[in-house]
A and B are shown apart, each in its own frame.
Chain A
Amino acid sequence: MSGPALWSVVGVVIQVLLVVLGAPLLVALMRQVRARLEGRAGAGLGQPWRDLRKQLRKEPIAPDGSTVVFTAAPVVALSSALLIVAAIPLITTTSPLDDVADLYAVVSLLLVGSVAMALAGIDTGSAFGGMGSSRTITVAALAEPTLLVAGFALSVRVGSSNLGSLVEHAQRAPSVVLSPATLLAAAALWIVVVAEAGRLPVDNPATHLELTMIHEATTLEYAGRDLALVELGSAIRLTILLGLWGNLFLPWGVATTVTPGALALGVLVMVVKVAVLGAALGASEVFMAKWRLFRVPELLAGSFLFGVLAVSSSFFLA
């Protein structure tokens, strides 16, 4: 394999390994930030990996009456998350899979993960599973228009919805990042990131009250290695969402060439960006309570409005 092609494959491999190994660390960082702000000591950065290691040793359980959908859903959700990780520009925009999935394909792949978990929730045959499934898919459906319209706003100037091109274009001209269209799109997409990752104020990731759960209710029946896959998949999803938001709106540092130096810088910058965004998200959760479920569509409608404003301003103020 020629030099540049080899390095681009190396870049993708590093990207995938970094996200898989680092996603639980991101979750730990967010929990640790919350703990310290609340005056507690916190469990430490290694806790989610200890949890995963222990879950892999435990016995998996399938509820009576469920089908292969229940056992296959965590695998499908994790596999779609890993495909997204390999295709999006996190460390580098030169991934060989960059042309395979553009912004819309990535949004649809995220939805595939949500659908897999929603079907598993119904398949458990319990009322909690059905409730979680219904709520999580409604939130995903209402977040979809914002994602696509905000993506539209971002791709108008570049003339393409390919994620690598979006990041490279934003890197070249800092005025692009500070334009009203981009700022509005950033606000709209931040709300969607919070909704899709299941964080406050949309959903409380640490709740024990089943009736307040949106996403976790679909995973109440999972045990053992299935649960480990579900938790890893959810952590990777969070990393994807934060990493993508960070690279679209703060694109500096992402490697656009395949030299080892650029890749190393890309790794460092991505780790810093995701850590800072994660810490900010975790800290903001200390100040918020979970909103009533039926106020969430109003929030998502507001984010849709931001997205439409972003498109209009990208045209009228171009």
Chain B
Amino acid sequence: MSPGARGHHLRVAWVEWSMSLLGLALLVVAFAAALSVASVGLPSGVRARTSGALTCLIGLAGVAAGASALLGDSLSVAAPGLLPLSSAVLSVDPLAGFFMFVVGGVAIAAGVYSVGYAHPDEDAHDGATLPTGVSSRTVHAALPLFAAAMVMVPAAGNVTTFLVLWEVMALLSLLLVLAEHRARPEVGGAGVWYAAMTHAGLVAILLGLVALATAAGTESFAGMREAGPGLPSGVRTVVFLLVFAGFGSKAGLVPLHVWLPRAHPEAPSYVSALMSAAMVNLGLYGVLRVGFDLLGGGPRWWWVLVLAVGALSALYGVLQASVATDLKRLLAYSTTENLGLIFVGVGAAGMFAADGDSTLAGLLMAAALLHTANHAAFKTVLFLGAGSVLRSTGLRDLDKMGGLARRMPVTTALFGVGALAASGLPPGNGFVSEWLLLQGLIHSLSGEVEPDVVVAIAMPLAVGAVALTAGLGVVTFVKAFGIGFLARPRSPEAMAASEAPGTLRAGMVLAAVGCAVLAVAPLLLVRSLDRVLLTMSPIGQESPVHGAVMLELSGISGSMSPVLIAVSLAGGAALLALVVGRLGRRQPRRTALVWGCGGTRLSPRMEYTATSYAEPLTRVFDDVLRPEHDVDITHHVESRYLVESVRFRQRVPDRVEARLYPPLVAGVNWWASVARRLQNGSTHRYLAYGLIGLLLVLIVLGVTS
């Protein structure tokens, strides 16, 4: 467990454990989950508030539990007989605590936001029809339960508990994704893709963890941790690959990411925030838990694979995001991009840990974990902002938005904070973690250990990939913020926008405050990550990041001060504005029509749209993106020489999905049609199947025991 902890290691049968903050928080989570089930009976107005309040409470408990685990507390509880085939074991260590902290933080903001999300007229249905969409009982009950399952997944202490909690989380998230299926047909298709992929991932994780448990002889994580390093390398490799595939799919890594851009846009926005900013982190948690903790690190080629997949995901995700015109699809691909960057850090950390350079490994892992927290904060702000816009205008299409800055000033400002952070520019919080990641990568060739050829080739390519991702990320978020919120509205719906109600703004403000704190005081989190790094045996030492105002790397030379940069930028801008204002006070600013070369008055429809904004990039990368164009020309009735209207549509499909998945789906269909021959409708045959299956199992058990 974590050394130097004032922990309470208790093995207790039922409820008698001492009330450490950690234990109390977990109890609160369980209680709130139970209450949420009970809340289905409440009338709909009260239900929304209850559901939001319970989610917020669960988030607070998660944050408290995570913080106390990060500060050294730990917990280990076993309840035998609670789950079939095994006992339920909860064990919280700093690694689990970090993820509980992050998930809890997102749940607080999403919970507050969800209270006001349903339109008032959705509640004002006549008593005869049931409420649908986000006001339905299912959604209100599922939301706190989903948050609770997410908070508890890192606390699972054995394979069975983990898998049960994982599957509960997946099913509840599926319910939430399907919340608005009556309103739009695409939601159903998105739900099917999501269900299929998350269960395929579950199968991979199940196989991997069960193989590990079988080889280690025990299913508790503590037992596997001791036996892990001693297992034969073939078994370890198979386990790692299976687990990486399953958890990587949940984290949205290419090529298993295809559910992300389908499911996240269709879910209600606070659910998208929970999925994109909290649930995908649990995929990362799984890889870290199995790869670094249970298996105790691995040969370098594992981590080179992780690095390569991460870099590929980052590049592909940001490229698709930069050409996406649907705002929520853009944010979903941005999640793939950020998780890709995080896995670049994890892969590089694993490589250096395998080589023995623990300083660099610690730095890179700290950068990856800090980026997880930063991403959770800014992705929440962005999705909640997109939700406010969607609720107020009914628009997700950037090409139709615009002019929202005057009509929704608070949402615009908060979305701007999130966009600055997501683009990785100072003074945002994304910049700090990207800087740390780059420092780790560039010091690889001048570190303590003599670098070899693999490192010498991989590191420049990794730096190039991170740099191109950063650049394209800037384009993406300038596009999202600029086209979506600035200038004049491009459609009547955008013109009719109004500011979001109180609880929505409160939710966004909470997430934005998280971004701001992480931007100027990242060290608060980085110091507590030291305990996490100490639990990971291949790294086993504190991270080299120090300093409050100035971030310094000890043992490696490098420093940067996010606080001073932010203060200087703000101070400099204020000073300049004052000086120039005084110089020019005799000439007040005039507002005039925009200069359009003197021709007809520029209409808002003549502004650049998101499609046109990304056109140079689409052209540069058209081999990768393969955009599809549709041009529809309507000629004048009187003459084919005169054009009445031209309609241009561009679609950028997900090329990975279009190339890799149709053969897979066709294969599954073929297999299913073969299997259908087994089901001919005769009950006698089905009974015979059951009897033969049972006999086979008995024979196998008898032979092997």
A contacts B directly (C-beta below 8 A)? yes
Binding site for B on A (CB under 8 A): 56-67, 69, 71-72, 75-76, 78-80, 82-83, 86, 97, 99-102, 104-105, 108-109, 111-112, 115, 118-119, 122-127, 129-131, 133-135, 137-138, 140-145, 147-149, 151-152, 155-162, 165, 220-221, 224-225, 229, 293-294, 297, 304, 307-308, 311-312, 314-316
A125 contacts across to B, CB distance below 8 A: 487-488, 594, 602, 604, 607
Q: How far is the CB of B688 from chain A (nearest CB, A)?
A: 64
Complex: how many Å from CA A140 to CA B612?
17
B572 nearest CB neighbor, chain A only: A79
Q: Are A118 and B435 in contact (CB under 8 A)?
A: no
Complex: how many Å from CA A62 to CA B604?
16
Q: Are B616 and A69 in contact (CB under 8 A)?
A: no
Complex: how many Å from CA A72 to CA B478?
16
Complex: how many Å from CA A105 to CA B425?
9
A131 nearest CB neighbor, chain B only: B608
B550 nearest CB neighbor, chain A only: A99
Q: Are A135 and B580 in contact (CB under 8 A)?
A: no
Indicate whether B390 reaches chain A with its CB closer than 8 angstroms. no
B442 contacts across to A, CB distance below 8 A: 151-152, 155-156, 161
Q: How far is the CB of A28 from chain B (nearest CB, A)?
A: 22
Q: Are A144 and B471 in contact (CB under 8 A)?
A: yes
With beta carbons under 8 angstroms apart, the residue of B445, B463, B616 that contacts A134 is: B616
A154 nearest CB neighbor, chain B only: B442
Q: Are B464 and A165 in contact (CB under 8 A)?
A: no
Indicate whether B80 reaches chain A with its CB closer than 8 angstroms. no
Indicate whether B240 reaches chain A with its CB closer than 8 angstroms. no
Which of B71-79, B165-173, B264-272, B557-565 faces chain A? B557-565
With beta carbons under 8 angstroms apart, the residue of A66, A162, A221, A312 that contacts B460 is: A312
List 24 A-B residue pairs with CB atoms under 8 Å apart, sorted by A's residue number: A56-B584, A57-B587, A59-B590, A62-B589, A63-B592, A97-B564, A99-B552, A101-B561, A112-B426, A112-B569, A122-B613, A125-B604, A126-B594, A137-B478, A142-B468, A144-B474, A145-B467, A149-B467, A155-B446, A156-B446, A157-B446, A161-B558, A294-B619, A308-B464
Q: Are A108 and B482 in contact (CB under 8 A)?
A: no
Indicate whether B403 reaches chain A with its CB closer than 8 angstroms. yes
Q: Are A118 and B467 in contact (CB under 8 A)?
A: no
With beta carbons under 8 angstroms apart, the residue of A58, A82, A119 that contacts B587 is: A58
A78 nearest CB neighbor, chain B only: B576
- A145-B468, A148-B464, A312-B460 known; A75+B573 contact, CB < 8 A: yes
- Could you mark each residue 221-232 of chain B with 1 if its beta carbon is under 8 Å from any beta carbon of chain A, else 0? 000000000000
Q: How far is the CB of B624 from chain A (nearest CB, A)?
A: 13
Complex: how many Å from CA A115 to CA B445?
32
B441 contacts across to A, CB distance below 8 A: 152
A105 contacts across to B, CB distance below 8 A: 426, 435, 560, 565
Taking chain B's interface residues, is the majority helix, strand, or loop, or is none over half, making it mixed? helix
- A60-B587, A130-B607, A142-B620 known; A119+B482 contact, CB < 8 A: yes
Q: How far is the CB of A52 from chain B (nearest CB, A)?
A: 11
B523 contacts across to A, CB distance below 8 A: none
A99 contacts across to B, CB distance below 8 A: 550, 552, 559-561
Q: Are A56 and B583 in contact (CB under 8 A)?
A: yes
Q: Are A119 and B616 in contact (CB under 8 A)?
A: no
A104 contacts across to B, CB distance below 8 A: 435, 438-439, 560
A81 nearest CB neighbor, chain B only: B572
Complex: how many Å from CA A123 to CA B404?
11
B588 contacts across to A, CB distance below 8 A: 59
With beta carbons under 8 angstroms apart, the residue of B439, B457, B560, B587 that contacts A224 is: B587
Q: Are A148 and B463 in contact (CB under 8 A)?
A: yes
B580 contacts across to A, CB distance below 8 A: 75, 225, 229
B587 contacts across to A, CB distance below 8 A: 57-60, 224-225
Q: Are B590 and A83 in contact (CB under 8 A)?
A: no
A140 contacts across to B, CB distance below 8 A: 471, 474
- A109-B565, A316-B456 known; A122+B483 contact, CB < 8 A: yes
- Could you mark each residue 673-688 of chain B with 1 if its beta carbon is under 8 Å from any beta carbon of chain A, else 0? 0000000000000000
Q: Are B478 and A225 in contact (CB under 8 A)?
A: no
CB within 8 Å of A: which of B542-594?
Answer: 550, 552, 556-561, 564-565, 568-569, 572-573, 576-577, 580, 583-584, 587-594
Q: How far is the CB of A26 from chain B (nearest CB, A)?
A: 21
Known A83-B565, A111-B474; further 11 A-B contacts with Cβ < 8 A = A63-B591, A63-B594, A86-B568, A101-B561, A111-B471, A126-B602, A133-B482, A145-B468, A160-B558, A312-B457, A315-B445
Q: Are B482 and A60 in contact (CB under 8 A)?
A: no
Q: How far is the CB of A302 from chain B (nearest CB, A)?
A: 14
A109 contacts across to B, CB distance below 8 A: 426, 565
A224 contacts across to B, CB distance below 8 A: 584, 587, 589
